[in-house]
């Protein structure tokens, strides 16, 4: 009984639904199975939390499992998600999984109406007793409302076909306590994408992960690095995917995973109601997800279309080697968070002053000038006007560009005064025009602030040269 003991990387498979949402998209599911197997995974886990099992009818769960087993075709083992808050249904699904050819079942702690420890033990015991294949216990307190008791786990570990436990809590002290108490009897598997490397290093035998739908190959490399005790490589890889893992975990698993796969051209459709991809992932989160996929080589980086203008010249600032006006430039950051600035400072009565007044008075749509303000009712001095060289197309972009840029430019001008780059006389006599190039599709406000400040200080310090 229960001879299969899971080790390695297992994707917690999403379930592709048909466009009308009424059934399983069999072709899409088969393509996904092929993709993750090609990524080197050790097995497959359909119909779990990431698979939206709670939104699936009994016959749909059975069909999805049968499709996965058929497509896997013995290449890798299959652990069937057979969890239910009802013991009767959990037993029924477990028996079907055994008959269908699954190697093990994944059984979650009953949810909604949670039993006490005795009831929890009895639930798992009845499922395990009804089948001969292996049983994997499933701890996911964020969905069940509580941890699977350590004492219950110790008792269940004595059952011959209870062979493993998936811990999706992300709570490493709990994971380590399980390893200490039952690690010699059952395999502990990490189910939380953000703590895979430390869990494996501590002794977990593998991981069942939502993000393994997207990056199975990288998680396999993490696992193999731990197996050969190359902690440096494992840590490097974990940190490389950490932001993606964080997005997946914190935005509901199935929603961002399906969004990512669709971006990658692996069409899997949408989640079922009440989960709705469009309403649950903000534009900013979707763009963060896209950027992470680009960084990991899962998407080809596409440069956004940008019509950038030379606003200083358009305003009549006499820029060039033959003129007395100097323009100082600076840039900082990478990719969509890269910021470039051009700064011109001069007398209120000169050409820069006239250009400043023109820019302040003429609010051209998409390139509206904005005063650099340190705090409400406190302008930077000398008076500084910010000019976005790339067109602002909507309120989200305006918030991204104007918010952090306004604060960063004001701080840079103030610091330039304190460093003696700008004199007290200049504060009273001059005005400044700062042409700023920021990608309107940037998503990291903190990075935009930091890069704007760095670019502005680079430009201002050139005034000393």
Q: Where are the alpha helices (DSSP H) in 251-381?
A: 254-263, 277-280, 283-295, 311-314, 351-361
Nearest CA to 5 out of 181, 206, 171 is that of 206
Give the CA angle between residues 297, 302, 307 to the nearest 5°: 155
**How far is it between the farthest Cα atoms of the chain?**
91
CB contact at 8 A, 337 and 446: no
Find the catalytic residue in 166, 258, 270, 298: 166
Look at the block and give the residue holding tokens 């993606």.
244
Determine the 3-state secondary structure of 386 from DSSP: strand
Task: Report how far residue 350's alpha carbon sits from residue 330's, in angstroms, rounded to the nearest whole number.
Answer: 24
Q: Do you find a cis peptide bond into 387, omega within 30 degrees of 0?
A: no
The H-assigned helical ranges of 14-156 are 26-38, 58-72, 87-100, 117-130, 141-144, 150-156
95 is a catalytic site residue: no
Instruction: State which H helix or E strand residue 388 sits in.
Output: strand 384-388
Q: Write the DSSP symbol of residue 107.
A: E
* Angle (deg, nearest 10), helices 231-250 and 283-295: 160
| Integer Cα distance of 259 and 286 in angstroms | 8
The rounded distance, in Å, linking the Cα atoms of 208 and 388 is 46
Q: Tokens 């000398």 — which residue?
A: 382
Tell me 214's DSSP state. Answer: T
Residue 78 burial by CB count (10 A; 0-12/13-18/19+): exposed, middle or buried?
Answer: buried
**Could you give the CA distance from residue 233 to residue 236 in angstroms, rounded to a whole number?**
5
Query: Choosing from 62, 63, 138, 449, which is the catalytic residue?
Result: 138
Q: 61 and 97 in contact (C-beta within 8 Å)?
A: no
Is 223 catalytic? The answer is no
Return the active site residues.
138, 166
């Amino acid at each position: 009984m229960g001879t299969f003991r899971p080790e390695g990387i297992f994707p917690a498979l999403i379930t592709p639904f048909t466009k009308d949402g009424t059934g399983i998209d069999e072709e899409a599911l088969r393509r996904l199975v092929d993709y993750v197997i090609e990524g080197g995974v050790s097995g497959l886990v359909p119909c779990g939390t990431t698979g939206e099992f709670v939104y699936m009818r009994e016959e749909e769960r059975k069909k999805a499992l049968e499709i996965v087993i058929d497509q896997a075709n013995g290449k890798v083992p299959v652990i069937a998600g057979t969890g239910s808050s009802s013991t009767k249904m959990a037993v029924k699904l477990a028996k079907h999984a055994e008959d269908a050819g699954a190697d093990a079942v994944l059984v979650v702690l009953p949810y909604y109406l949670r039993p006490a420890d005795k009831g929890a033990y009895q639930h798992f015991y009845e499922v395990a007793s009804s089948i001969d294949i292996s049983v994997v216990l499933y701890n996911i307190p964020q969905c069940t409302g509580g941890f699977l008791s350590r004492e219950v786990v110790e008792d269940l570990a004595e059952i011959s076909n209870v062979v493993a436990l998936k811990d999706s809590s992300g709570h490493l002290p709990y994971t380590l306590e399980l390893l200490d108490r039952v690690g010699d009897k059952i395999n502990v598997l990490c189910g939380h994408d953000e703590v895979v490397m430390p869990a494996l290093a501590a002794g977990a035998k593998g991981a069942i992960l939502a993000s393994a739908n997207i990056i199975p190959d990288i998680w396999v490399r993490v696992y193999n690095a731990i197996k050969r005790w190359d902690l440096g490589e494992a840590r490097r890889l974990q940190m490389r995917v950490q932001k993606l893992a964080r997005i997946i975990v914190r935005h509901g698993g199935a929603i961002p995973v399906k969004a990512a796969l669709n971006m990658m051209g692996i069409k899997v459709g949408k989640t079922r109601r009440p989960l709705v991809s469009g309403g649950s992932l903000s534009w900013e989160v979707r763009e963060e997800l896209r950027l992470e996929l680009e960084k990991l080589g899962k998407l080809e980086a596409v440069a956004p279309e940008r019509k950038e203008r030379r606003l200083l010249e358009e305003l009549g600032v006499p820029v060039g080697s033959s003129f007395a006006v100097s323009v100082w430039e600076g840039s900082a950051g990478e990719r969509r968070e890269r910021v470039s600035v051009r700064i011109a400072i001069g007398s209120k009565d000169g050409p820069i002053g006239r250009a400043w007044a023109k820019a302040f008075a003429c609010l051209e749509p998409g390139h509206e000038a904005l005063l650099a303000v340190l705090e409400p009712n406190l302008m930077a001095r000398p008076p500084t006007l910010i000019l976005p060289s790339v067109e602002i197309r909507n309120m989200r972009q305006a918030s991204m560009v104007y918010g952090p840029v306004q604060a960063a430019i004001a701080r840079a001008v103030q610091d330039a005064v304190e460093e003696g780059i700008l004199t007290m006389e200049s504060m009273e006599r001059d005005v400044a025009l700062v042409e700023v190039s920021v990608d309107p599709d940037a998503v990291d406000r903190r990075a935009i602030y930091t890069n704007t400040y760095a670019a502005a200080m680079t430009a201002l310090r050139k005034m000393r040269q």
